[in-house]
Structure 1
Amino acid sequence: MLGKVSYGGVTTPAGFRAASASGDIKGKKAERDDCGLICSDEPCEFAAVFTSNVVKAAPVLYDMEILKKGGKVSAVFANSGNANACTGADGYKNCQKIAEVYADGLEIKSESVLIASTGVIGVPLPVEKIIDLKDVLIDSLADDNGINFAKAIMTTDTTVKETAVCVETKAGLFTIGGCTKGAGMIAPSLATMLSFITTDALIDRKLLQLALNECVDVTFNRVTVDGDMSTNDTILLLANGMSGTKVDENNYEDFKAGLLDIMDYLARQIALDGEGASRMITIEVKNAANFEEAKLCASKIANSPLVKTMFAGCDPNWGRLMASAGASGAEFDPDKTDIYFNDMHYVSGGKIIDYSLEEKAYNIMQEMQYTITIDLHAGSSMTKFYTCDLTQDYIKINADYRS
């Protein structure tokens, strides 16, 4: 059984604390916090998923090496404003330096500290500013600072994205909490996102990684804002076992259900907060010939600039949906295809049912969140993608991103 925790986040599970501070990472004398620290009172098993981009940022490469070593971790340092990507050997050395300094302050091994960064690519990381924050961050670690950490990792995000659930199983209770950032450069195969998920469940690394992989595939890998993939995408899942509730094959599905709830909520928040977006749309493709074709079709529609601008104008131009589906590579008969706007049957057998339905479709598209379903009638497989509209504000935000 799952229970939503009000105002929950990464510090909701037992033993996790967080802190944030301003390091002026972009050098513009901004006062907002841009550095954060998560720390666990007990060493954590951890699982991770990283960007599939060939160009990987230094913190991604650093964390991948820590994951290979198989040891436990106790802390995560994260910054916004600078991606520490395309910075060569110095970028990696700066990750090592940060880990060593913060590990020393926390009295743990340097291999126990993970690093995450987000922001402008190709700019050297101002590592001395980060080192100077060590005492401030460590001294302000607290179990009610999860929201401040979540704010510190924001870039073009307009809202904090955090949540937590309590999971009740026959073996006992445990909690899962998480936060994420992401609004632009969002494409399937993660997104331009950092996500930090914590749990006090007692679970081994193999099961932890399995659960993360299974949940990523149907949540964060189903989000698109603009079709661009980042160099820094990172999801970290830490488990410190402090609830004393063991997760094994008997209650693994309960754990996965809780994790899925967290990740699905955060994924939807990313789509809803897409750069310049005014609404979130769920694209559901069902009855495809197989799962891969369902995914091809949903992804093509969700990423189409023509479709996304149609969403922005609230124009129920279903022909664009048909054209994108047909260009996706999925095999289906257009003359058997149905389209629904929420529960309203709009297109049947590849033709509009009644032009009088356009006004109802228009009204549905005025909503902040709605679902478009494409029924291909070609099989029994289905999937969904989360996307958003593409507005003029997206261009403004990204044209001035470095300003």
Structure 2
Amino acid sequence: MNIKMGIAKAGIKPSGDYDILVLKFRPSVYSLVLTQNSLAAAPVVYDRMVSQMTDRISAIVVNSGNANAATGEEGFQNAQMMAELVEECLELGDNQALVFSTGVIGVQLPMEKVEKGIKKACQNLTDLDLEKAAKAISTTDSFPKYYSYEGSIDGKTFRILGIAKGAGMIHPNMATMLSYIFTDVKIEKSLLDKITKVVTDRSFNSIDVDGCESTNDSFLVVATGETDLEINEKNKTEFAKSLLHVATELAKMIVKDGEGATKLIQINVHNGSTKEEAKKVGEAIALSNLFKTAMFGNDPNWGRILSAVGQLHLDIDFSRVKLYIGDFLIYSGQPVDYDREKAVQYLKNNKEITIDLYLERGDSDWTYYTCDLTYRYVEINAEYTT
């Protein structure tokens, strides 16, 4: 894909690392999912406005180190100014650039630094480097999150490239994160919107680190149309599976990098009466701090899992429920005599943990991802702005 990248050190981050990213591409169909937090950041408000006016965009600009959230009218004007700077520097039309910010809430952007950084990024465009782009949008991330995929549908190859950031303040709708996925297929915007909604629900809206919804969450899918493959009603499912694969891999990276996390936990809920119920059950477990601290302590305390489900008041018949931690059946309508020491060793020796819960109420399944809650999480967030 012909995507150009510009990065710059504008001095927004105290670390002095790269904090401005500009991506330029041909005018492309896009789909945008934004936070539902009522305290939506200025760039979110701006992007919502732009998305109502145009079906195609040609660039994005991202700053890290400052969320430009809860910054009032000045914040909105600054977000708009960032977009206009990119459009002017890259000689694009109006409403061709979307703006994204991530970092500390409640601080105005240092626009003199931002302006210089954007101009520098725009003047030094190179071919897209996923790793460098992912680093430029990072804040408390401990590693850059990016993924590349190549597939084939109807004998025609296509590519999907993605980057993301996020490590804390993670919970839908959406998780606290930014993610940008590019594909070279041809697709109508209405169909891309439908696919993106499904993909979002199954990936970025099915993860949790700390139960805290953010002000800046944004997920953007861009289809540049550079390949001969056209996605339509006949092949949309196959393409959606590929897009979901990329989004899920990025989402799992975010959870794995949960601030201070030592374990990625996959919660598979089986046999729910509806998909909504299965997702709700998975979310309840993922949100339980008691469960997450037990996982950190390598404690197979299954009572914390079932009690989290019970507090949903879904009238579940627990005499039919089965619960596994890894391969260990630990509850089957009543306590099971299992090898607790081996279960402890499973938790202790694996960085990726699987929980399987069978509700026996229907045919609907859902997978939710979370991580353990550690001492380090408290330390990181206690010192975040001090």
Shift, 1:244, TM fit = 3.0
Equivalence map 1:322-341=2 (5 Å) = 322-341=306-325
Aligned to 2:32: 48
- Bigger drift between 265-274 and 286-295 goes to 286-295
Contact 2:169/2:209, CA 8 A, preserved across alignment: yes
Distance in 2, matches of 1:329 and 1:37, equals 47
> For 2:8, which of 21, 34, 38 is the aligned residue?
21
Distance in 2, matches of 1:61 and 1:98, equals 14
What amino acid maps onto 2:359 in structure 1?
A: L
Dislocated runs of 4+, deviation >3 Å: none
Distance in 1, matches of 2:237 and 2:366, equals 20
> For 1:174, which of 155, 158, 174 is the aligned residue?
158
Distance in 2, matches of 1:167 and 1:330, equals 41
What amino acid maps onto 1:393 in structure 2?
A: R
Distance in 1, matches of 2:334 and 2:77, equals 57
1:104 partnered with 2:88: yes
% identical equivalent positions: 38
1:37 partnered with 2:36: no
1:359 partnered with 2:348: no
Distance in 1, matches of 2:11 and 2:336, equals 55
1:93 partnered with 2:80: no
Aligned to 1:221: 205
SS of the residue corresponding to residue 346 of structure 1 reads strand
What amino acid maps onto 1:33 in structure 2?
A: Y
Q: Deviations over 1:257-291 (max 9, x none)?
A: 21111101011111111011001101111122322
Distance in 1, matches of 2:342 and 2:270, equals 23
1:202 partnered with 2:186: yes
Q: Deviations over 1:66-85 (max 9, x none)?
A: 11112311100001110000
Distance in 1, matches of 2:71 and 2:118, equals 23
Shift, 1:19, TM fit = 2.2
Distance in 2, matches of 1:328 and 1:280, equals 24
Contact 2:33/2:219, CA 8 A, preserved across alignment: yes
Aligned to 1:5: none
1:321 partnered with 2:321: no
TM-score normalised over the length of structure 2: 0.97
Contact 1:15/1:200, CA 8 A, preserved across alignment: no
SS of the residue corresponding to residue 250 of structure 2 reads helix
Contact 1:288/1:332, CA 8 A, preserved across alignment: no
Equivalence map 1:351-390=2 (5 Å) = 351-354=335-338, 357-366=339-348, 367-390=350-373
Aligned to 1:233: 217
What amino acid maps onto 1:62 in structure 2?
A: Y
What amino acid maps onto 1:166 in structure 2?
A: E
Shift, 1:171, TM fit = 5.9
Contact 2:54/2:95, CA 8 A, preserved across alignment: no
Distance in 1, matches of 2:362 and 2:200, equals 25
SS of the residue corresponding to residue 383 of structure 1 reads strand
- Bigger drift between 340-349 and 298-307 goes to 340-349
Shift, 1:380, TM fit = 2.4
Note the residue ranges of structure 2 that are not aligned, 5 or more in a row.
Answer: none
Contact 2:322/2:331, CA 8 A, preserved across alignment: yes
Q: Deviations over 1:49-76 (max 9, x none)?
A: 0001111000001111111112311100
Contact 1:282/1:386, CA 8 A, preserved across alignment: yes
Structure 1 residues 23 and 251, CA, compared in 2 at 3 Å: closer, same or farther? same
Number of corresponding residues: 385
Contact 2:169/2:210, CA 8 A, preserved across alignment: yes
Note the residue ranges of structure 1 that are not aligned, 5 or more in a row.
Answer: 1-13
Shift, 1:342, TM fit = 1.8
Distance in 1, matches of 2:377 and 2:185, equals 40
Contact 1:294/1:330, CA 8 A, preserved across alignment: no
> For 1:254, which of 232, 238, 243 is the aligned residue?
238
